[in-house]
Amino acid sequence: MIRANLLPRPKENVRVFGFEFDAEYFRQALSACAVIVSVALIGIGIECLRIHRFEVTIASEEGVLATHTAQREQTKRLALDVARYQEFAREAEMFRRSGPEAAIAVARIGNAVPNRVWLDAIDRNAGAYQLSGVSTSVEALSGTILSLGRALPASSASLVSIDNRGADGGGVKFSARVDEPSPAPVAAGLVR
């Protein structure tokens, strides 16, 4: 004969801090909290491990940077020296081209200016002569620009600005640009 107890189990209650809970629900809640805490601790552990690996990688990279500090300083000094030598080369080119050729170009520009036009300044910048001055009329100024374009071989002249309000005696203030001729390309020859 088999005996079976078909009666429901009596409910057990647990008392915590003065509150009474069903024991089965309390066990389920505790096991759920334990699972949540264990998953959170595993996640925190994984993140701590990743942070530690990042710190080790950063420390090794800083060590590599520290070993190359001398090379970086030498490279920086070399770059500064190159920049200084490039500036010397630009100044040497400017002085090389400011000799008799520049004097002839300034003389030709001055000779190309007609009587009714006066130049206040002639500046040489970036392969061009910047001119400023006063003209008695717009017609005289247009003739000046044409003659300036013919002053230097293979050069061109252009009017940069014109102002007829501020000149003394009703003249026309202007600024112009005369581009220097570009050097002729050197023909490449065959070497035998």
- Short-list 2, 22, 1, CA closest to 12: 22
Among the ranges given (29-38, 76-85, 99-108, 175-184), the one the predictor scored with the smallest mean pLDDT: 175-184
Interatomic CA distance for residues 182 and 68, integer angstroms: 46
Q: Is domain 101-179 classified as CATH 3.30.1360.100?
A: yes
- Judged against a pLDDT cut of 50, whether residue 113 lies above it is answered with yes
Every domain of the chain and the residues it spans: 101-179
Mean pLDDT value across residues 34-41: 95
φ/ψ of residue 131, rounded to 5 = -115, 145
Mean pLDDT value across residues 142-166: 83
